[in-house]
Structure 1
């Protein structure tokens, strides 16, 4: 028992002694000292420049100032990524200087005196307010809009050569270069211009899409146009401007797009399709009771609608087949509303049922009071040799004999 207690005490003492050393060795990180040297654009060292030194993406940082010899010493973790930012009131740098894998030694950072440019933008009528002036180069891009006097000031930035671009909707853009050696003034004159914008409207339900004539093309703030047989219409618009273009036509869903017109002619195609719809037709709308009328359901493009619900006066009676067809037996006399519906769309037709005996048969009634022609009596000449009864009888007998003879001849021929 005594020996066990001693061993336990010794173990505790050893753990207490060894553990801090082990922990300290696991967490400690070696430091290295770097020399940050600031030089100007001529390569001369610059003293009294304020810097912020950041390592490992913000893991640590230190604000420092260079000595008269343009240098300052900074301790950072061994192998760290070091970022040096110039935060001075007199000198500047467009972007931080970044160094990887710090292991002591010197980190040279170039700083610059500031440069600025004051740009005045005009057109043929005077100052242009709201024009965008963009300065780009030396690792930065700066944009400023002109004020009411047409002026934009950009900077301060590092001194050096930059690109200067001025743009404004309705004007041709102006691009030039500028060398910032301090404070530089520039005047830029813009020129208005137009370009052709052509809009084509097609129905892309078909392959290939079909041109859509008589569609309305509304170019916001410019004009409302009507497409021709080729589905196109165009007009002139101001350059460097965005336009909301909408295509509409009865029975079609409208489409709106933003079209950017630069400094060359522009064309755009707007694709539309018919509004979703269902329609129904019957082979006959007046049907004898017990007979069938065929219903055909089609969509907005005349294609069969399969599986559409068929209802008669609100009561469901069936569904259309794969051909969009349903054969309806008419069982009730009088008018009844037959509706075909699918996906929230519906169409109706009125069917009249009637009894077979109830058909209207046109008849013509004989008049009952129409006058009847009565032949007038013929006077007979009874004088000898005339047209009296004796002569008339002879003639009649003769005629009878002739008729009998003709009848016998026809019988023989047959």
Structure 2
């Protein structure tokens, strides 16, 4: 019996020593814990003497401030933290009696710090003051750095403003707040960001980029079929775009070089559409008109010709045979035309003249010539020659007779 009584007594002493600490829940809790659980954030030293409590109500002078962050410090160390409820109140639960530093933070209000002495169940109230601060927003071109006037800036809790000629605008925003900004401008991409604002004036620079777009221009709006037209592709800043695909009637036909240009072939006549594509972006559509039937340029009204040295399609003979030199040159025989003679006007009209051929292989044809023999009748060819020879012979005979007489 004595041993059982001793064991029960020891167990009673252990439970008496550890019971309050276990009931208080040792450890620290998240500062964002509900007010009803604020006691869970109390540290071990304070809980060892948890003989007091604090009920703190936060107002803006007239109305309670819900969601205000309240933190208690003791001797420079954080003891607990929590948020006020809808009634603006935070109950710490059991804490050690003593002096505490209480800090209160809420968006749109200046921070409030106060000292509180906790003795037993203590109730206190604290007022926080709303306030605003100047926020200057400067909007520039993200690529060039140029100030952008007339840009629209949507500011949380402050409304919408537009930048001036210097690209800046100043607005009043709540203190101790995260302020959201949304900036838009025609031709530029939409940009948004969040800015942490304290209790002093703040400025922020925001660069926005032009919308991703490409432009296409053609060197001419008309071209002969089978020719080409020059296309130039530029970005939103007017800089050349290399590697852009050129589409003719929806089909890829060329690609721009380093200078952003490409030669676009137009093979067929008619109206054609031209566009550029780069980085998933398409340019506006341009048009080009091609005149003619096509790139071959054949004229249907012109008879085809066969070049020298090529095979003729009509007779199937090799053109080289047409260029071979002949073995001999055939010279056509001359055609002799008799000149009509007026028989009545010739002194030899009454003489019997044999009918001899006017030309042939025996006597060469001298033709119808005049000169010293012009006194002869107009007889053609061989007959004239025979008459001349006969006259010479007669003259020689006469001379011979005369010489014999003189002798």
Give the corresponding residue for 1:342.
Answer: 278
User: Per-residue deviation at 1:295?
Assistant: 0.8
User: Per-residue deviation at 1:337?
Assistant: 0.5
Aligned counterparts of 1:346 and 1:91: Cα–Cα separation in 2:
66
Give the corresponding residue for 2:124.
Answer: 186
Aligned counterparts of 2:47 and 2:125: Cα–Cα separation in 1:
31
Aligned counterparts of 2:11 and 2:133: Cα–Cα separation in 1:
56
User: Per-residue deviation at 1:291?
Assistant: 4.3
- Residues 91 and 286 (structure 1 numbering): CA distance in 2 closer, same or farther, change over 3 Å? closer
Conserved 8 A contact 2:173-2:179: no
Aligned counterparts of 1:170 and 1:323: Cα–Cα separation in 2:
55
Alignment of 1:104-183 (within 5 A): 111-137=48-74, 139-183=77-121
Q: Tell me the SS of whatever aligns to 1:149.
A: coil
Confirm whether residue 332 of structure 1 aligns to residue 256 of structure 2: no
User: Which of residues 229, 233, 256 in structure 1 aligns to 2:165?
Assistant: 229
Q: Tell me the SS of whatever aligns to 2:82.
A: strand
| Structure with more helix by fraction | 2
Conserved 8 A contact 1:122-1:150: yes
User: Per-residue deviation at 1:355?
Assistant: 4.7
Q: Tell me the SS of whatever aligns to 1:210.
A: coil
Conserved 8 A contact 1:118-1:153: yes
- Residues 132 and 337 (structure 1 numbering): CA distance in 2 closer, same or farther, change over 3 Å? same
User: Which of residues 185, 188, 193 in structure 2 aligns to 1:257?
Assistant: 193
Q: Tell me the SS of whatever aligns to 1:140.
A: strand
Give the corresponding residue for 1:309.
Answer: 245
Aligned counterparts of 1:213 and 1:157: Cα–Cα separation in 2:
58
Conserved 8 A contact 1:335-1:351: yes
Q: Which has the larger radius of gyration?
A: 2
Conserved 8 A contact 2:71-2:78: no
Confirm whether residue 215 of structure 1 aligns to residue 151 of structure 2: yes
Conserved 8 A contact 1:199-1:270: yes
Give the corresponding residue for 1:354.
Answer: 291
Q: Tell me the SS of whatever aligns to 1:211.
A: coil
Aligned counterparts of 1:129 and 1:49: Cα–Cα separation in 2:
45
User: Per-residue deviation at 1:92?
Assistant: 7.2
Give the corresponding residue for 1:322.
Answer: 258
Confirm whether residue 195 of structure 1 aligns to residue 133 of structure 2: yes
Aligned counterparts of 1:251 and 1:48: Cα–Cα separation in 2:
81
User: Per-residue deviation at 1:147?
Assistant: 3.2
Confirm whether residue 87 of structure 1 aligns to residue 21 of structure 2: yes
Confirm whether residue 297 of structure 1 aligns to residue 233 of structure 2: yes
User: Per-residue deviation at 1:175?
Assistant: 0.7
User: Per-residue deviation at 1:338?
Assistant: 1.1
- Residues 141 and 287 (structure 1 numbering): CA distance in 2 closer, same or farther, change over 3 Å? farther
Conserved 8 A contact 1:117-1:183: yes
Alignment of 1:14-33 (within 5 A): none
User: Per-residue deviation at 1:162?
Assistant: 2.5
Aligned counterparts of 2:12 and 2:159: Cα–Cα separation in 1:
60
TM-score, structure 1 as length reference: 0.58
Aligned counterparts of 1:91 and 1:317: Cα–Cα separation in 2:
77
User: Per-residue deviation at 1:210?
Assistant: 2.7
TM-score, structure 2 as length reference: 0.59
Q: Unaligned stretches of 5+ in structure 1? A: 1-46, 51-63, 73-84, 98-108, 357-414
Q: Tell me the SS of whatever aligns to 2:282.
A: strand
Deviation digits for residues 126-182 of structure 1 (CA, Å, limit 9, x no counterpart): 333333322233643423333343322123233343221122222212111223343
- Residues 219 and 336 (structure 1 numbering): CA distance in 2 closer, same or farther, change over 3 Å? same
Aligned counterparts of 2:211 and 2:74: Cα–Cα separation in 1:
52
Q: Tell me the SS of whatever aligns to 2:188.
A: coil
Aligned counterparts of 1:333 and 1:279: Cα–Cα separation in 2:
25
User: Which of residues 270, 276, 283 in structure 1 aligns to 2:206?
Assistant: 270
Conserved 8 A contact 1:216-1:247: yes
Conserved 8 A contact 2:266-2:290: yes
| Structure with more strand by fraction | 1
- Residues 298 and 132 (structure 1 numbering): CA distance in 2 closer, same or farther, change over 3 Å? same
- Residues 288 and 192 (structure 1 numbering): CA distance in 2 closer, same or farther, change over 3 Å? same
Alignment of 1:34-113 (within 5 A): 64-65=14-15, 87-89=21-23, 94-95=42-43, 111-113=48-50
